[in-house]
Amino acid sequence: MNYLAHFYLARNDDGLIVGNLLADFVKGNKYLELPEDIQRGVILHRSIDEYTDNHKEVEKTKERLRSKYRKYSPVISDVFYDYFLGINWSKYSDISLKDFTKEIYDTLFKYQHSFPMQAQLTVGYMSKNDWLYHYSTYFGIEMALKGLSRRARFETNMFEAIQDLKDTEDLIQAEFTPFFEDLMNHVEKEIKNL
């Protein structure tokens, strides 16, 4: 899953929110140097990623993308799944997506001074361009895919995947919905054990 889903699944817990962000910037056991509440967020992030990578519905989405995007198909499917969370937001939350994203940015800014520089930069770009809210739009997904494509080491053509989303939206929605229900149940159990 991508940022929007990770933050949503963090359940308004500051440590889980911050840890879900920092998990992308802290490799191996380096997370053990973080405060305990944030360590829990890193552990949760990794659990979400592992569960997602091995789910049968997610595999269907990745398989459809694999012939064109090869090893980047999991990255693209993660971005697509944030889109489906965004467009179906009212099914999962009582507060608006706009209010939720503002709360997330406020939380991240509260802790930003202790982040590694790359994480600080990411939070700055994320909030300035309101990535989280715009994941619910084709424009936002296209911008995310272009950004990922620029940062990739090899030619990926990920930016072209916006058309794949448009062409197969109903199929991916049908894969996302049962997967996300399963993921929410998984996270609920994981949080109890953290």
Residue 169 is part of which domain span? 3-193
Residue 22 pLDDT greater than 90, yes or no: yes
Kindly compute the dihedral angle of the four CA atoms of residues 24, 28, 31, 37, in this order, to the nearest 10 degrees: 80
Sign of the C-alpha dihedral computed for residues 139, 144, 145 and 146 taken in this order: positive
Taking the C-alpha atoms of residue 152 and residue 144, their distance in angstroms, rounded to an integer, is 12
Total domains in the chain come to 1
| Predicted model pTM | 0.95
Taking the C-alpha atoms of residue 70 and residue 51, their distance in angstroms, rounded to an integer, is 20
By C-alpha distance, which of 168, 11, 180 is closest to 81?
A: 180
Q: Counting beta carbons within 10 angstroms of the beta carbon of residue 106, is it exposed (0 to 12), middle (13 to 18) or buried (19 or more)?
A: exposed
Residues 61/79, Cβ–Cβ less than 8 Å: no
- Those residues with Cβ within 8 angstroms of residue 157's Cβ, 6 or more apart along the chain or in another chain: 68, 69, 149
Mean pLDDT of the chain: 95
pLDDT of residue 115: 95
Give 137's DSSP letter. S
Residue 156 pLDDT greater than 80, yes or no: no
Share of the chain above pLDDT 90, in %: 91
The per-residue b/e assignment along 132-159, b for 16 or more CB within 10 angstroms, e otherwise, is bbbbbeeebbbbbbebbbeeeeeebebb
* Residue-wise pLDDT tens digits, 74-98: 999 999 999 999 999 999 999 999 9
Which residue has 């799944």 as its token pair? 81
Taking the C-alpha atoms of residue 161 and residue 119, their distance in angstroms, rounded to an integer, is 26
Across the range 173-177, mean pLDDT stands at: 98
* Residue-wise pLDDT tens digits, 106-121: 999 999 999 999 999 9
Taking the C-alpha atoms of residue 108 and residue 97, their distance in angstroms, rounded to an integer, is 16
pLDDT of residue 81: 98
